[in-house]
Amino acid sequence: MRPGQQRLAETLLPELRFALPESGLLDPARLFGAPMQAVWLEIGFGGGEHLAAQAGCHPEIGFLGCEVFENGVARLVSAVARNGIGNVRIFADDARLLLAALPDRSIARIFILFPDPWPKARHHKRRLVAPATLDQLARIMTDGAELRLATDDPDYLAWILETVTAHPEFASTAPQAADWRERPPDWPATRYEEKARAAGRSPAFLTFVRRVRT
């Protein structure tokens, strides 16, 4: 972490960071100083450029960002300070803890962008996109909420397609492979996408919708 980022993180991070309640569920709407129309969540925000861009474009939305790596948290804090963003809160711990603490139907959009593909077969159980995680996401998402996923790993892409389409609570919005290759206009780029393209890899951008509960 650069000295300037460290100083900024030390002063601003305590205002942005939140902890989970010792008992009961977390009310994400109460983390923000003003009422928000909805709450969106990014799991593993990396350097935070996507989250900061989304928050800057949607001041009416409250954003929760989950990231365990200190440098990524520091970069997001810097972007928040630099751009005067007031609708971001940070959970700097295991995303599974946060998912378990969120109430049903509390999140209106979720982003999981370029997660670790864990390419070795013996490590596939560590992949974030898995049936147990999807169960939790389906529980906390509102009806019709979007789940946005991105990867530049062909094997992980196949895994995502198989795992998410098999889940009864999610429906794909782009069934054709050609639809995955172009990033939607309202989907800001990340440094991971830039690195993938520079290395000759073609990222895939997938959107699934949480089905309406019956």
Whether 51 contacts 45, CB under 8 Å: yes
Q: Which residues contact 87 (CB under 8 A, 6 or more apart)?
A: 32, 36, 55, 58, 59, 61, 62, 63
Residue ranges of alpha helices (H) inside 44-190 are 49-57, 70-83, 95-101, 131-140, 154-166
Q: What is the dihedral of CA 89, 190, 199, 151, to 10 degrees?
A: 70
Per the residue annotation, which of 27, 116, 135, 155 is the catalytic one?
116
Determine whether 186 is an active site residue: no
Alpha-carbon span 37 to 62, nearest angstrom: 8
CA–chain centroid gap for 201, Å, is 22
Active-site residues: which are they? 116
